[in-house]
Amino acid sequence: MDLRAALASCRLLAIVRGGDPDAALRTVLTLAEEGVELIEVSLSGADALTVLARARKELGPGRPLGAGTVLTAADAHAAHRAGAGFAVTPGLGTGVDTALDLGMPVLAGVLTPTDVIAAEARGAAALKLFPAAGAGGTAYLKALRGPFPGAAFVPVGGVDVTAARDYLAAGATAVGVGSPLVGDAADGGSITDLRERARAFRAAVRTGAWAEGPA
């Protein structure tokens, strides 16, 4: 898949991390039903590889589905076997290179200009700016875009509906959203509430100048 193009088109990456594997699977499937096209299952969740494999079986081979928190080469291999089509990392560990070797595009975690240079040199499809809020939010994103105007940044960490709009307006290609979107659904919480949050986020990322075309 062309992960950068998918991020630019969808503008939203949902991050599912839960303590209840069955609830996490329901969360993935519900998000897909609500039109959230890009979903990652974090490997730090309970029995995440099983969740990922079951989600892949339910969604079919053509639906974008990624593995998050890919830290090591072993993580990348396990995610690939479970059916992940792309990998998301919090930093630039060995999982980046192994995922790329396996043919999985990578959304690589970066924070500093040095990280950006290293991630792009290694062939990352896009750059996960993490933790975005702690780094300085939209002001920091704008600062990074100065020397790297062509980079595809995806802020992650503390992104609520308002912040999603702000990051996109500041030039982000997409936003990655975990708990503000998923809430407690992946731990057995309300699916009805999850649907409402999904609709709110989808509306937010479709509205604005960024909706006119891919970044």
Q: What are the residue ranges spanned by the domains of the chain?
A: 3-207
Which of left, alpha, beta for 11 (phi over 0: left; psi -120 to 50: alpha)?
left
Q: Span 3-207: which CATH code?
A: 3.20.20.70
Q: What is the mean pLDDT of residues 4-12?
A: 97
**Taking each helix axis from N to C terminus, what angle separates 73-82 and 94-101, rounded to the nearest 10 degrees?**
40
| 128 in active site | yes
Q: How are beta strands 106-110 and 126-129 bridged, if at all?
A: parallel
Mean pLDDT score across all residues of the chain:
95
Confidence of residue 104 (pLDDT cuts 50, 70, 90): very high
pLDDT of 187 > 60? The answer is yes
pLDDT at 50: 98
Which one of the listed residues 33, 37, 40, 57 is annotated catalytic?
40
Q: What is the mean pLDDT of residues 111-140?
A: 96
Q: Which residue has the tokens 């991050």?
A: 15
| 212 in active site | no
Centre a 10 Å sphere on the Cβ of residue 40 and count the other Cβ atoms it contains: 27
Confidence of residue 212 (pLDDT cuts 50, 70, 90): low
Question: What span, in angstroms and rounded, lies between the C-alpha atoms of 196 and 202?
Answer: 10
pLDDT at 77: 98
Q: What is the mean pLDDT of residues 94-123?
A: 98
pLDDT tens track for 36-72: 999 999 999 999 999 999 999 999 999 999 999 999 9
pLDDT of 126 > 60? The answer is yes
pLDDT tens track for 174-186: 999 999 999 999 9
pLDDT of 151 > 80? The answer is yes
Which one of the listed residues 33, 34, 37, 128 is annotated catalytic?
128
- Provide φ and ψ at 52, rounded to 5°: -60, -45
| Residues with Cβ within 8 Å of residue 190, at least 6 apart in sequence | 183, 184
pLDDT at 153: 98
